[in-house]
Amino acid sequence: MPYLLWTAALAYLLSLYLIRWVLLLKSREPTSSIAWILLIIGLPVLGGLLFLVFGINRVERKAVGIKRQTRRVLGPILPELARFESPPTTAREPLQNGLLRMATQINLMPATFGNRIEVLDETNHTLALIEEAIDGATETLHLEYYIWRPDRTGTRLRDMLIEKARKGVKIRFLYDGIGSITLGRRFLRPMREAGILVASFLPGRAFLHRWSVNLRSHRKILVVDGRVGFTGGMNIGDEYLGKNPQLGSWRDTHLRLHGPAVLQLQQVFVEDWLFATNEELALAEVFPAPKECGQVVAQVLVGEPIGDLSTFHSVLFAAINDARKQILLRASYFVPPESLVTSLETAARQGVRVRLVLSGRSTYFWTLAAGRSYYESLLRAGVEIYEYQHGLMHAKTLTIDGQWSLVGTANFDTRSLFLNFEVGVAVYDEQIAKQLEEQFERDVERSTRISLDEWLERPESHVVFENVWRLFAPVL
């Protein structure tokens, strides 16, 4: 009996140590801190172990060093990019100017003019354009994906890369060690044998790597010859083409970019490659002189678990609060921090038309349940909620007042906003906003609107189930 008492006392002392020295001395979102504290106190041994594996950011110091190193290395090309910098002007709408100024301060990448951007809303067409771009590469191909499946689609694209490598194109392939955990040696060996440089971002497989298992690269990036860029919500695999009978049709939004913004996307890849491999890439090889390709003003946004300020959370918060007419949000995983819920509700109560198209099904039932726990307060505030029924909604877009848009990889949840490595493109252009608005209306037609009266009539067991999962929202 005394042995058990001493063991329990030691466990709680260790728990208090974790809470004192790790949680309370490190700034983080309060709800996340509370969730970890309750877990550590409630399950002193298991909770402590889970925190050691999932709760500590062990990559921040290295990531900060990488950014300093790349900023130094990129010094010679920054004047070239500066020629295309698009500062706030009196000719631009106040909302655009405000968001541009704020995003530049926290993101450290300016908005650039001279871009041509295509909004892609059908995954089979998107893949065809990606294959076309790969086929047209002559110098370099840089790919970074959260999920790359070793199925028919992933294998076909891999074989295209192998063919280009044999023709002399320099290819670097970066994949997330957890998201693409099914990529084994058999799949990757032919790539390496063809001369493709392959690396895993925060592998997380071996014991020593598991300490970073909770911090993933959720980015999807393809840069071809430094001239053409792709990014957005779409990964590589059969399911993203609607070939998974359980998931059905796949609804996603991607971007194809030409112009100076492509070099910003390239910069994100260069930093991630340096982080994963310690290889510093030659400037002349990967950063061709930027050229004006269109009239769109765009800004690549970078989200990383570095510091106390989240780029995507700050931008989303500011954009929602600045809206005066309309907010259109499409999200696949909707488990938002309370600050963004309050922003959406406040905007709706002030007369802004707030409309959300969310996924009516999910690959993770717990995120769907946790997200639905927010519906009642949003509906009471006047927010319109639609659940997409024509397959799986995976797009991540926000459009404000028909003037400003954001398309990227970040979900509307705590994990994407504070834990993952994410990327997106803020677009200061009315025509792009109009295209996204038209896509939104088409998605609404394939969705079911959630009414407050019907929602309040759902079984009590559903309410309990949703609220239980909401307790874990800060770590989902």
Cα–Cα dist 307/152, whole Å: 40
**Catalytic-role residue among 254, 258, 313, 394:** 394
Distance of CA 24 to the CA centre of its chain: 27
Q: Is 164 among the catalytic positions?
A: no
> Pick from 473, 106, 146: which is nearest to 307 by CA?
106
The answer to whether 258 is a known catalytic residue is no
Distance (Å, whole) CA 410 – CA 312 = 8
State both tokens at 451.
């009414």
52: which DSSP letter?
Answer: I
Distance between CA atoms of residues 410 and 268, nearest Å: 15
> Among the options 396, 413, 429, 443, which is catalytic?
396
State the catalytic residue, choosing from 121, 142, 164, 218: 218
Active-site pick, 121, 142, 164, 220: 220
337 with 118: CB under 8 angstroms?
no
403 contacts 323 by C-beta, under 8 angstroms: no
CA 11 remoteness from chain centre: 37
Catalytic one among 121, 176, 225, 443?
225
In angstroms, the CA 104 to CA 311 distance is 10
H/E/C letters for each residue in 163-224? HHHHCCCEEEEEEECCCCCCCCHHHHHHHHHCCCEEEEECCCCCHHHHHHCCCCECCEEEEE
Any catalytic annotation for residue 396?
A: yes
Catalytically annotated residue among 401, 413, 429, 443: 401
**Residues with catalytic roles:** 218, 220, 225, 394, 396, 401
